[in-house]
Structures are given as structure tokens and as C-alpha cells.
Amino acid sequence: MRASKWIIEKLLKMVSDEDPCRHREEAEKIFSRYHDDTSLNKIKEDIMLYCKKPSKSRLEKIKTQLDDILVTRKFEASGGTSLWFNDRRITRSSRASR
């Protein structure tokens, strides 16, 4: 399962805090729920690496990655071919068959 835009926003808020590493335990809980999300797993590795060896450039890279994923998830949730819930939209033809 992929993380929603709200989860990405929550992670972005955590990373934007003065001391992002103090949210490490909460972030690990989030990451454990979305272990199939490859783009989120990449960010997880970057966050854990940042907590071991803090660097302003590394933190900015993480924020940029989260922003990029956030934009993508917003587009995916609003329409197109990769909707998370393909069957939630009822077409006129499917209403007529009911």
C-alpha cells in the first residue's frame, strides 16, 4: 500500500521541525505501515542516515524528495489512470445497469 498525501505531509512536517530526529520513533511506525511504497522507503533510508550523521544539505534533499512525492500523490488521487480506488467512480452506463 502506498502512503497518502496526508502521510507525506505529516512526514514533511516532522522533517521541518527544529530537531527532526526526535520524531524518529513516530516516523518508523509510519514507514512500517507502508513497506511496499518504494519511494517512501528511499526517504526512510535518507532520514535514518541523516539522524546518524546530520547535514543541512541532506535534510534539504529529504524535504525536496517529500515535496516531489506530495505533488505526485495529489495528482494520482485527483484522477487519471493510476487512481487508488478505480471502482469508486460510477459511470452513467454502470448506473443504468443497476
Give me the domain span that covers residue 88.
5-96
More confident residue, 82 or 7: 7
pLDDT higher for 59 or 92? 59
pLDDT value at 79 more than 90 = no
Q: Which of 73, 88, 78 is nearest to 1 (CA)?
A: 73
User: Can you tell me the distance from the alpha carbon of 26 to that of 41, in angstroms, rounded to the nearest whole number?
Assistant: 15
pLDDT for 98 equals 53
Mean confidence (pLDDT) of the chain: 82
- Structural domain count of the chain: 1
User: Binning pLDDT at 50, 70 and 90, where does residue 81 land?
Assistant: low
Q: Which pLDDT does position 91 carry in this prediction?
A: 54
Rounded to the nearest angstrom, the gap between the alpha carbon of residue 16 and the centroid of all alpha carbons in its chain is 15
Q: What is residue 5's predicted lDDT score, i.e. its pLDDT?
A: 87
